[in-house]
Chains A and B, each alone.
Chain A
């Protein structure tokens, strides 16, 4: 779109933000404009993820957190994720029912997202929506995941602070939850403190943590009753004391890599024109996907080798820049083993083979998503430059390509 999209988002214009979320969810070409608009405006908000089992009190805790944060003068955006039906794709988004008392507060923006088939506890667009709220100037972004079992730990990658809700009285199941989401928590919140089992759950968690020997990971346990407010002040104080802002971007390598990669991809006109999308990113490793479209086909009605190379090269380029230091390709080659038809989805997985101060070596495996068939293998050598990655960011591109 235009420059004013960035300005309207940064100003926190609520309708623009609401409609931009729909664009991000749809994943259409307007989503690219939105990602580009917000790419350079990240890392100010404190992103707090709230996860835990269904019925554990997540929404009630989120509501109590909104109340406490508002009393402390913070503006709050909430991303509430509910599951979509695996059969019809429909959903009833009811989490905001429990946030009723904040519905009319102008300092609170609540958006419900349906998971739309995405596994991991969030929705496909959730990470982008978090970034959007961050760019729009909200002090705190609260993310409520779908009811989590053992593997819905995706929130780990996107939150500065991870809250794992542990309701009392789940008996033996508490053991299972502890084993499942144990490692992602910064704080365990024992909810429903008014129930008789709450103290036992709290002490079980404490004693379990006492057995941990990982010195770099020191989660705390807090007991609250969100409905009466008991324990909420202590929890809010603890949240306030965290070195919060931008943590997800600065200290954790994987999150920093994701931010860099997202920004680069959003600003890459060629990559965008091919319809390339990010699947995942960590330092040195990037996975992308691309659907083979009509304009990718060669005279023989198969996917053009150049399109496949461009796809692999994009993955390689993002992987070698993911550390945040500018790198540029100096040599590359590709072998192709399978012809690809129009409409197929391709996956490119770039991995870092080696990297020194000046030279990096990368490999990209391209497969067909439908059956995992091997399509192509790329290798490349990059030269690491002595400056950080620069993304053209939110400035509108006037036909000129990105310097990379």
Chain B
């Protein structure tokens, strides 16, 4: 049987409603053959955790333009608390470089800044999907 396509959640947490970027990313990942579960902005962290669990997501992409990236560490610990530390999280948007280390330290796999090529995003999501499925295979 054919390999399962990556399953990716593209979402926004917090109060920021600028969702053009997440729509672009969702369309780009779809065109790369992935299954994208897209949500509108303003999602709550427990909702995203439940969503990732029910959809058996490999990767969660958080789009952030107006400081919402600062609550991503809370998402990371919520995922770990739910036993879902294997789910890979990436953040894209406006993230000051001084905040990037905080995100990576909290377990975020990668931060994408403005000017990133879509091909890089696709390649990273593929690589992270492979990593997550390997982790799953090891724990199964």
Contacts and interface: CB of A to CB of B under 8 A. Distances in A.
Interface of A: 14-15, 18-19, 21-22, 25-28, 84-85, 88-94, 96-97, 100, 103-104, 109-112, 114
Contacts of A26: 1, 3-4
Contacts of B38: 92-94, 97
A21 B35 contact: no
A90 B36 contact: yes
B139 to A, nearest CB: 11
Given A18-B56, A103-B50, A90 B83 contact: no
B50 A93 contact: no
Interface string B29-45: 11111111111100110
Contacts of A18: 53-56
Nearest to A113: B35
B1 to A, nearest CB: 4
Nearest to A88: B33
A169 B30 CA distance: 32
Contacts, number: 80
A111 B55 contact: yes
B47 A103 contact: yes
B56 A19 contact: yes
Interface in B7-66: 7, 26-27, 29-40, 43-44, 46-47, 50-51, 53-56
Across the A-B interface, the 4 shortest Cβ-Cβ residue pairs: A90-B30, A27-B1, A18-B56, A89-B33
B74 to A, nearest CB: 16
B54 A28 contact: no
A88 B31 contact: yes
Q: Is the interface of A mostly helix, strand, loop or mixed?
A: mixed
A18 to B, nearest CB: 4
Q: Is the interface of B mostly helix, strand, loop or mixed?
A: mixed
A100 B50 CA distance: 12
B44 A104 contact: yes
A26 B2 CA distance: 7
A220 B27 CA distance: 40
A202 to B, nearest CB: 32
A90 B50 contact: no
Nearest to A77: B54
Nearest to B48: A103
Given A15-B83, A22-B4, A92 B56 contact: no
Interface of B: 1, 3-5, 7, 26-27, 29-40, 43-44, 46-47, 50-51, 53-56, 83-84, 136
Nearest to A114: B35
Nearest to B84: A15
Given A97-B39, A103-B47, A90 B4 contact: no
A96 B32 CA distance: 22
Contacts of A21: 56
Which of A85, A93, A94, A110 has most chain B Cβ within 10 Å? A93
Contacts of B33: 85, 88-90
A25 B1 CA distance: 10
A110 B52 CA distance: 11
B45 to A, nearest CB: 10
A104 B46 contact: yes
A112 B50 contact: no
Given A28-B1, A85-B31, A112-B37, 6 more contacts: A15-B83, A18-B54, A85-B30, A88-B31, A90-B33, A112-B35
Contacts of B55: 18, 93, 111-112
B30 A91 contact: yes
B101 to A, nearest CB: 31
A19 B56 CA distance: 6
Contacts of B43: 103
A255 to B, nearest CB: 25
Contacts of A85: 30-31, 33
Contacts of A114: 5, 35
Contacts of A91: 5, 30, 35-36
A19 B40 CA distance: 25
A178 to B, nearest CB: 33
Nearest to A291: B1
A92 B27 contact: yes
A92 B36 contact: yes
Contacts of B56: 18-19, 21-22
A93 B10 CA distance: 10
Which of B30, B31, B51, B53 has most chain A Cβ within 10 Å? B30
A89 B37 CA distance: 14
B73 to A, nearest CB: 21
Contacts of B3: 26
